[in-house]
Structure 1
Amino acid sequence: MKRIKMGCTTLSIPAMALGIMRMNQKSVPEAQVAIQAAYDAGINFIDSADIYGGGKSEEIFGQAFSQMQIKREEMFIQSKTGIVPGKRYDFSKEHILHSVDEILERMQLDYLDSLVLHRPDALMDPEEVAEAFDQLQAAGKVRFFGVSNFDMAQFKLLQSCLSQRLMFNQLQFSLKHTGMIDFGMHMNMVDKPSVDRDSQFLDYARLHKVTVQAWSPFQYGMFEGTFIDNDGFPKLNQELQKLADKYEVGKNAIAAAWILRHPANIQMLVGSMNPQHIRDSAKGAKIRLTRQEWYDLYLAAGNYLP
């Protein structure tokens, strides 16, 4: 598995992480198979969130992992908080602290390697968040911190009050969600792709050594479904299959290789609980697409260049 530097540190993490959003749909033995498949492929990074399955995903993970032979220190375990049932967000100190305690209990852990704030809270008080982070770190409950779906101004605002460096920002990025790179290639134009909806965060991350974690790497829309083997995207699947045949892997691996080919050292979140999909996706970390192959996929996904 390809390894990348985590944020501004010298620590290395795998270029892929296993997202456990759908683990609530699995039995404990099935969850163990998925975790083991990821670990055997070099994916020793887990990404979760307190809202996944209403907390059930973390419960299943905790039961599964506690019975496995993998040592805790061999895994990097991350969870997210901030989205509250009832369609609101909450970055209050009280909520963050309480949420972490509940996460640790569900996952049967003594600490999290990373805590990520899940989608921006319009009522965020950066100084209050800073107090929560300091308390969690001092108590040994969380080692590192990050955010999810923050634009550059939100990220800089929070960072200005923290004593810790934010390591991560989770952002949607895939062959069918390319906004973070479209506008740069359509600079000085007036067409739709020239609109910057992501506040140039990818370039900011490269300048300031923030690890972008790409979620929904095989999805189109937000949660409409996967573009892999989808009849609605014939050109893209034809190009994926051509390269899959060349590199002797599956389409998932090629779609993953496309993301990892970007020089920003992006970490890709694999959300599948299917062991075969996990193993195939992991093979993408070993493939370095040529520049022409990368652009051929970009164009086959329905994008165009000026």
Structure 2
Amino acid sequence: MQPLLTTYPTAGAMVFGCMGLGGDWNVPDISADARRLSYQALDSALEQNFTLFDHADIYTRGKAEQVFGDYLALQPGLREKILIQTKCAIRFKDDEAVGRYDFSAGYIRQQVELSLRQLQCGYIDVLLLHRPDPLMDVYEVAAVLDALRQEGKIRNVGVSNFGVPQLQLLQSAMTQPILVNQLEMSLAKIDWLEQNVLTGMTEGASHFFGYGTVEYCQQHQVQIQAWGSLAQGLFTGGKAPQTPAQQQTAALVLKLAALYQCSPEAIVLGWLMRHPAGIQPVIGTTNPARIKACAEARNIQLSREHWYALYVASRGQPLP
């Protein structure tokens, strides 16, 4: 049995998100063009020294893992140079049931074994439970995760979209530490900051995030990973800003990019990475030029003043 990771040894503290690999979600097969674009994106990620790749069993309905597995098969020796994490527990609506979450032992095991086949690898570095299941039996979950680790199929465990009570409850039944928590965090999604800054104030009630989640993860060495970290290009030209606050923030991002001599993407990601929680942005783009632009975030360190300027611009009003 392999030893547990105690930290995530990833280059530049960024994660390459594989949700866009494999083509259209509504097309059952991987087309030649989708394969070419997926391989091109992976080539670019490796060229930019990404070493941690984030998957989920549902991404492009399994095609993301499949095309990644095919890519791995063409790259002898690559598997041992990278870390692969994948997620399970989201089940789509089907003929028999509504869309739901499933932390049952049988389903977790089934999906891990499916991911291993699709990824064409013998083990998963980190398995994440994708979204909290209200019917979670923590002892059942802990038992199957321990068994999968004993069998060498997974090496570590993480979660996604968990708050403090859920983290505490699951960890209480587990023999291994929860290594990762993925949360939606970006310069556009700032409730994780607002709820704490507005502690004790009426305004804070409208910024629910999961009180104390960031602090809990810091205290217990749970690595925070930020999904949606680029805010769908809202401040970097991919999507037009709508509100005055968004427009002001986008203008400031461009101004700081010129000042720091880097890409706008680097400013947006560098803002997250400046936080002492050591947030790892998950980069969802498959565009080689944007992948390169994102990688520039490793080389900048925003000043305290510029970090706050971006925060205040995004919230649309001065701090209390």
Counterpart among 51, 57, 77 of residue 50 in structure 1: 57
Shift of 1:48: 0.5
- 1:16–1:245 Cα change, 3 Å: same
Q: Give 1:96's aligned residue.
A: 108
Shift of 1:249: 1.7
Q: Does 1:247 align with 2:260?
A: yes
Q: Does 1:280 align with 2:293?
A: yes
- 1:275–1:120 Cα change, 3 Å: same
**Partner amino acid, structure 1, of 2:236:** I
**Partner amino acid, structure 1, of 2:313:** A
Q: Does 1:206 align with 2:218?
A: yes
SS where residue 142 of structure 1 aligns? coil
The structure where strand makes up a greater share of residues is 1
CA shift digits 1:44-100 (9 cap, x unpaired): 100000011111111111112221355211110000000001110100000000100
| Structure 2 counterparts to residues 5-24 of structure 1, below 5 A | 9-10=6-7, 12-14=9-11, 15-24=13-22
**Partner amino acid, structure 2, of 1:151:** G
Distance in 1, matches of 2:205 and 2:235, equals: 20
Distance in 2, matches of 1:125 and 1:182, equals: 32
Counterpart among 35, 55, 64 of residue 71 in structure 2: 64
Shift of 1:122: 0.5
Q: Give 1:261's aligned residue.
A: 274
Shift of 1:196: 4.2
Moved more, 294-303 or 169-178: 294-303
Shift of 1:197: 2.6
Distance in 2, matches of 1:57 and 1:138, equals: 27
- 1:37–1:182 Cα change, 3 Å: same
Q: Does 1:271 align with 2:284?
A: yes
**What TM-score, normalized by structure 2, do the two folds share?**
0.88
Distance in 1, matches of 2:188 and 2:176, equals: 34
Name the % identity.
36
SS where residue 122 of structure 2 aligns? coil
**Partner amino acid, structure 2, of 1:187:** T
Q: Does 1:156 align with 2:176?
A: no
SS where residue 42 of structure 1 aligns? coil
**Partner amino acid, structure 2, of 1:228:** T
Q: Give 1:120's aligned residue.
A: 132
1:32·1:68 contact (CA, 8 Å) conserved in 2? no
- 1:10–1:61 Cα change, 3 Å: closer
Counterpart among 192, 197, 213 of residue 180 in structure 1: 192
**What TM-score, normalized by structure 1, do the two folds share?**
0.92
- Which gives a bigger RCO, structure 1 or 2 (Cα 8 Å, sep 6+)? 1
Counterpart among 304, 310, 315 of residue 291 in structure 1: 304
SS where residue 183 of structure 2 aligns? strand
- 1:119–1:95 Cα change, 3 Å: same
Distance in 2, matches of 1:170 and 1:11, equals: 13
Pairwise CA RMSD: 1.8
- Structure 2 residues without counterparts, runs of 5 or longer: 24-32, 94-98
CA shift digits 1:159-192 (9 cap, x unpaired): 0001110000100000010111112222221114
**Partner amino acid, structure 1, of 2:80:** E
1:184·1:194 contact (CA, 8 Å) conserved in 2? no
1:173·1:214 contact (CA, 8 Å) conserved in 2? yes
CA shift digits 1:246-288 (9 cap, x unpaired): 1222211110000000010111100000111111111112110
Q: Give 1:27's aligned residue.
A: 34
Q: Give 1:228's aligned residue.
A: 236
